[in-house]
Chains A and B, each alone.
Chain A
Amino acid sequence: MFTTILSIIITLLAAALLAKPMGIYLAKAFDYHVTSLDKVYGPIENVFYKMGGIKKENQSWKQYALSLVLANAFMIVLVYLIFRLQGILPLNPSGIAGMDPALAFNTAISFMTNTNLQHYSGESGLSYFSQMIGILFMMFAAPGTALAVAIAFVRGLSGKTIGNFYVDLIRAITRVLLPISFATAIIFIALGVPQTLEPTITAQTIDGAEQSIARGPVGSFLSIKELGNNGGGFFGVNSAHPFENPNALSNFIQILLMLLLPTAMPFTYGRMAGNAKQGRILFVSMAMIFVVFLGITLTHEFQGNPDLNAMGVQHDQGSMEGKEVRFGTGQSALYSVVTTASETGAVNTMHDTMTPIGGMLVLSNMLLNTVFGGVGAGFINVIMYAMIAVFLSGLMVGRTPEFLGKKIEGKEMKLIAVTMLMHPLLILGASSIALFSPLGTDAISNSGFHGISQVVYEYTSSAANNGSGFEGLGDATPFWNISTGIVMYLGRFFGLVTMLAVAGSLAAKKLVPETVGTFRTDTSLFGTILIGTIFIVGALTFFPTLVLGPVAEYLTMQAGGI
């Protein structure tokens, strides 16, 4: 128990130590002034610019948003076609057939939105061509897109010009995602993760049975899966599979990679906005929610299931149902909280089998979508809540609210209001349709409160672009493919576009000088208010749902009612 806690603390400390240098590196990587990085990456990037016919000129927020939506739409269509036609495309040694339309629709959107909700099983549903050209390509492009938008958003907030989408996207890939994922891929391969283009092999087990062992270019896939907060597994069971997460060290590195970019963003922001303290406050606020959520999850996972405990099942290890023995309760719970906080969606344990309250907290990470959140997108969401907090507290000190010296007025609040509305609308709206229709309810494997959790989890994971499944849900049907596809698409691009509009609007505003009368947003008081706002808005929105799902399950379980 003690060593488990110690290993968790060491992991988190390592993540925290990496955040600031990474944040500063990001700020430098996207700086349009000439930096030392230009020498290294400039030549490669220039090749891309020439190939794509990209002019390095500033865009308005509208042009930026249009480029974002169009480029992504193009990629979705391209990858959709690859999935449909993979049967006749090369690099298909295992002879996997083309995907059906609804599944291809879902999968293309899923990977382009950085969700990586997988309604297929990687080893049997995709050819190597699909894996490498379709999936792997999008696993770079999707986080690259979000990172680019987040940087553009911060530029707008700090009164700079928004920038150029294509330049930002290419820089995100060349300067951030590629180098780091290349380096870590080598480490993973060294730790025993396969990297091969050979087909599935067949082995003879000791008792003579034949066993097919899936393999492939897992190492290169794995590093970007975690770094880009993608989360889609090469194998169906994701990082619970020994080839995708062989040991404690690979587990440790995966956690660091998942947290690397989300935790770096506040520092990037602090650097770019010229107020390091402001970035630190955001980091600490998010870290505090994270630690509390982790604490509660660990407590409940270690307590285990009262029903099983009552039966006399040995529970020193905590609730081990659905967990890998090589990670144990502690590391599994940590991984679950990290993967949902960072909206990665990789799993090393099945969230469906977590205790009700543990499951509720990983669900809450996605409902709030602000406990660090996915690369770029999560941070934008945090700033949105910060603006709401600023608006309310600004009023309370008797001034028109200001954020980074820009007045927040009717126009910004309108954009924020519709953005804020989208998340509950997608989750609760889609969940009610699924719970109402047999098309949805037929997929539920456990009826009752747990069934509600399964459905809500699926849509929350889609809307927050997390991608992990609660599992246990038979979601490989056209209904689920199409509905989650729509939820993922809106959950991703609606907010990115509206918040770019906010940044554009703020960038055009006059800077208000700071006085003692200004409400400062770089104080611990503001951090507290931010946490309060996130909780009150989030909790008020989802309280009834959580009560009917995990809380009801927990209460009835405590009362021995299941």
Chain B
Amino acid sequence: MGNQALKERTSTSKISDQTKRENELNSNANHEFNNKDGNKKMMDKVMIFQAIKESFLKLDPRTMVKNPIMFVVEIGFFITLILSFAPQAFGNSGVEPWFNITVTLILLFTVLFANFAEALAEGRGKAQASSLKQSKKEIMANVVRPNGKIEKLPSAHLRKGDIVIVSQGEMIPGDGEVIEGLASVDESAITGESAPVVKETGGDFNSVTGGTRVVSDEIKVRMTSNPGESFLDRMISLVEGAERQKTPNEIALNTVLTSLTLIFMIVVVTLPFFTKYLGFQLEIPVLIALLVCLIPTTIGGLLSAIGIAGMDRVTQFNVIAMSGKAVEAAGDINTIILDKTGTITFGNRMASDFIPVGDVKNEELSYWTVLSSLKDETPEGRSVIELLKQRGAKIDKKLAESGAFIEFKAETRMSGMDLADGRQVRKGAVEAIKSWVKSQGGQIPVDLDEETNAISKEGGTPLAVAVDNQICGLIYLKDTVKPGMKERFEQLRKMGIKTVMCTGDNPLTAATIAKEAGVDEFIAECKPEDKIDVIKYEQKQGKLVAMTGDGTNDAPALAQADVGLAMNSGTTAAKEAANMVDLDSDPTKIIEVVSIGKQLLMTRGALTTFSIANDIAKYFAIIPAMFMLAIPQMDVLNIMRLDSPLSAILSALIFNAVIIPLLIPLAMKGVTYKPMSSNALLRRNLTIFGLGGVLVPFIGIKMIDILVALFV
């Protein structure tokens, strides 16, 4: 099993974190928002300060024009600014200067708040990028020249095709492929995961990333990228948002919002003609206030922040999305194709039986198995002890105290213990144990191969246990469905997503696991080419398909899928083909990515609805105030009983401005998403954001009016 086991070990330790991660998603906890860590708080302060600075810089009309809604507000601001200094600039006006100035200030803050939201979201991406940049230090590389000489060169001078040697303790100078050797590599700089990963030449685990450290052994690496084009470089620019483009859905929503803005402009621009006919004049600052209140500034101000924050949430799950489009597509997924091993099951890991070989007794096997595994903290080791306990074997911890634990090594492919009395207990891959025993002159029991094959045939993995030169028996490691998978597939079903399990197992084993895990469909004896057929078949029916993969032979399928999530541990080809890369190499994360995609769209929809629903209350504040002087009976429409026409207008305008920063946390965190049927979800969101959007401003404007009335 070798590196396979190691690799899986890395991902398992995170599976225990899975619950934690789910909690994070459900409560939408945000690292920065919830972090009590003092250091982080400091960073937050810096970031907020930076965002404030940015929000002023973004006032530049050339930047503002990209956001038509806020641009309208800014134009309004310029007009009232002129009126503040020259009240009669656009004809006769009876407005007092303080009113013009107040409106000007509120409008300025409205724009600033919107800019702040965007800057803050961008800033968080930048902060992440800068932490990534730190791992991009200058590294001295040992370059092997064609003549065989080794030359020391800074990593910046490395070119594609160069061959370098990286030994224990050294940093890998750039992205590349292992062409010779085998080593465990610490990728924590990129993945945040401390357990090392085995990289070896050939196969699917030959790609290494620049900035990661070799912790054992030595490898020869051929560089696959030039400086500045590496995976890390691409990640940094993605996270920084430098390549951010508007997504299709964002464009569609922007069209609707712009159209609403134009409608309200028509309404406001034509209004003075109506009142002029009735014989009274509407003041320009009042009209601007009405326009700004009506156009959907709330969503207009938060829209890009929602998009950036959505990408950011994906990043915080240690998944790098190559585009916002991919995240959006994730929300629309109909089918998810998952590998069985490592995704749905632990991958041949949990002990399910002990089989003695030769003339060894059961009790004897148990005794040595305990010793081999007592200090083994890997899931396999723990599962062995767990099973022995279940079977009533007495476990005496003292047994192990005197011994020295021998750790698993990629080279030896076994672990065990050297006892105080000199005896050696080993547990590991059958072949490795066989040669170990042979090297000590031991005999191989005749029934060992037979039992080994029997286990393999059933889809299990055998581990041999030996003491000195005697093989005692086998541990039957069986594929086990990860805890909680059934519930997650149930959730997916509620979301309307079909799960397809792909496995190399025979149909019988596959069916057992499929049933146990609760997936909707499975493909047994699946070859990588089969996956692409499944994807094409589903897509033909108009479905959007997501899949995870890590091997080079997964690459075509990853490219074909609408959402392809590649594992960072996988090959470069897989990562290039996918539109998302999971730095933790945890394939189950695709489920979270789907949730985040949905959450992103929902947040946009919810805040748009809220923004539009708010207009009702604003109308009831401003319309009576506008007309009350000329038509006193309009007071009937002042249902909030606002203090005076001026305070009513200012209150509505202030509400319109302050609602933006108040909603920044929601825009950043996203609307809470729990898997449920779309109708239930809609009913819930409509109640909160639709009905809430109608009622909240009535209360808010009234409260602000009470305060404003003290001054006006």
Q: Which residues of A contact B (CB under 8 A)?
A: 388, 391-400, 405, 408-410, 412-414, 416-418, 420-421, 424-425, 428-429, 431-433, 435-436, 441, 448-449, 451-452, 510-513, 515-520, 523, 525, 529, 532, 536, 539-541, 543-545, 547-548, 551-552, 555-556, 558-559, 561
Contacts and interface: CB of A to CB of B under 8 A. Distances in A.
Contact of A519 (B253, B606, B682): B682
A525 B248 contact: no
30 contacts: A395-B608, A396-B682, A396-B686, A397-B602, A397-B682, A399-B598, A400-B328, A408-B252, A429-B266, A431-B274, A432-B273, A432-B274, A452-B274, A511-B542, A516-B496, A518-B496, A525-B682, A540-B263, A540-B294, A540-B612, A540-B616, A541-B263, A543-B619, A547-B634, A548-B274, A548-B278, A551-B637, A552-B633, A552-B634, A555-B634
Interface string B268-305: 00110111111000000000000000100000000000
Contacts of B697: none
B349 to A, nearest CB: 33
A519 B275 CA distance: 44
A408 B424 CA distance: 69
B506 to A, nearest CB: 31
B633 A558 contact: yes
A543 B602 contact: no
Contact of A435 (B277, B495, B673): B277
A395 B601 contact: yes
Given A410-B252, A421-B262, A547-B627, A395 B602 contact: yes
User: Nearest 4 CB-CB pairs, A to B?
Assistant: A517-B496, A395-B605, A398-B598, A515-B496
B681 interface: yes
Main secondary structure on A side of the interface with B: helix
A513 B328 contact: no
Interface residues of B, number: 70
A513 B619 CA distance: 41
Nearest to A547: B623
B554 interface: no
B612 A536 contact: yes
Contacts of A512: 334, 542-543
Nearest to B493: A516
Residue in A388, A392, A452, A518 whose Cβ sees the most chain B Cβ within 10 Å: A392
A547 B622 CA distance: 12
A61 B41 CA distance: 59
Given A398-B600, A412-B252, A413-B253, 11 more contacts: A395-B601, A395-B602, A398-B331, A398-B599, A398-B681, A399-B678, A416-B259, A433-B273, A540-B619, A541-B267, A552-B627
Given A398-B598, A410-B255, A559-B633, A393 B497 contact: no
A547 B252 contact: no
Contacts of A400: 248-249, 328, 331-332, 601
Interface string B615-628: 11001000100010
B475 to A, nearest CB: 43
A436 B252 contact: no
A551 B636 CA distance: 11
B689 interface: yes
B627 A548 contact: yes
Interface string B621-646: 00100010001011011000000000
A397 B681 contact: yes
B334 A515 contact: yes
Contacts of A532: 690
A6 to B, nearest CB: 35
A544 B266 CA distance: 12
A451 to B, nearest CB: 7
B326 interface: no
Nearest to A514: B496
Contacts of B613: 536
Given A425-B266, A432-B274, A552-B631, A396 B609 contact: yes
Contacts of B498: 515
B558 to A, nearest CB: 21
A520 B677 CA distance: 10
Residue in A410, A416, A429 whose Cβ sees the most chain B Cβ within 10 Å: A410
A353 B205 CA distance: 85
B601 A513 contact: no
Contacts of A391: 252-253, 256
A516 B680 CA distance: 11
Contacts of A441: 277
Given A417-B258, A452-B277, A520-B678, A431 B270 contact: yes
